[in-house]
């Protein structure tokens, strides 16, 4: 994971949500830093809550994509390890939609660790990664197939669609 000093300094927390570049483009602002200056702390904490919570934008996108493709699913099945986001009973498959930052997406620029409170973020994200791995092992032991979809995959919906088709054809 790389360190993006400027971003960390501006935010003092995790990086911008995946859709930030679109907001940026819409407002025609010249640089990220100008944009980040304009984010109020209130907005920032609501972004953070959204990243950690249910019904995040990437999750909604994946759900609507699955629905359009004709796959039926259930949401947040509590009896399964890790309360998976999306469960497809017919395929005995579990889909996790992960934020790149919070779940430590390897070699992903969205998973950049801030330089401020670096140790804190590293420990936090490592904890999430380990929990994710434990959940996948437990689910596989119950006979489920697991698919993790990353937030950054939302920028190429066609590729994501292909990935789903390939996954479900196996």
Angle (CA) 59 65 70, round 5°: 130
Is residue 108 involved in binding Zn ion (CB under 5 A)?
yes
Contact between 149 and Zn ion (CB under 5 A)? no
Assigned token pair, 7? 């971003």
CB of 42 to Zn ion, least distance (A): 26
β-bridge pairing 145-150 and 86-88: unpaired
Binds Zn ion (CB under 5 A): choice among 51, 62, 100, 149: 100
Q: Considering the rule CB under 5 A, would residue 160 count as an interface residue with Zn ion?
A: no
Q: Is 96 in the site for Zn ion (CB under 5 A)?
A: no
> Which string of DSSP letters, residue by residue, matches 12-80?
SSS---TTHHHHHHHHT-S-HHHHHHT--HHHHHHHHHHHHSSS-HHHHHHHHHHHHTT---EE--TTS
For Zn ion, which is the closer residue by CB, 13 or 77?
13
Position 152 contacts Zn ion (CB under 5 A): yes
CB nearer to Zn ion: give 18 or 144.
18
Applying CB under 5 A, the site for Zn ion has a residue count of 6
Q: Can you give the binding site for Zn ion, defined by CB under 5 A?
A: 100, 105, 108, 110, 150, 152
């Amino acid at each position: 994971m790389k360190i993006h000093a400027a971003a960390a300094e501006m935010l003092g927390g995790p990086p911008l949500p995946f859709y930030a570049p679109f907001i940026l483009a819409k407002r025609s602002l010249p640089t990220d830093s100008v944009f980040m200056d304009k984010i109020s702390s209130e907005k920032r904490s609501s972004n953070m809550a959204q990243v950690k919570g249910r019904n995040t934008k990437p999750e909604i996108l994946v759900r609507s994509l699955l629905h359009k493709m004709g796959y039926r699913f259930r949401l947040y099945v509590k009896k399964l390890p890790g309360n998976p986001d999306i469960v497809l009973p017919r395929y005995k498959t579990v889909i996790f939609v992960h934020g790149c930052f919070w779940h430590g997406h390897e070699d992903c620029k969205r998973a950049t660790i801030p330089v401020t409170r670096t140790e804190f973020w590293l420990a936090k994200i490592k904890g999430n990664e380990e929990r994710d791995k434990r959940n996948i092992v437990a689910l596989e032991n119950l006979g489920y197939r697991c698919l993790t979809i990353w937030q950054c995959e939302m920028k190429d919906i066609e590729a994501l669609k292909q990935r789903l088709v390939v996954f479900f054809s196996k």
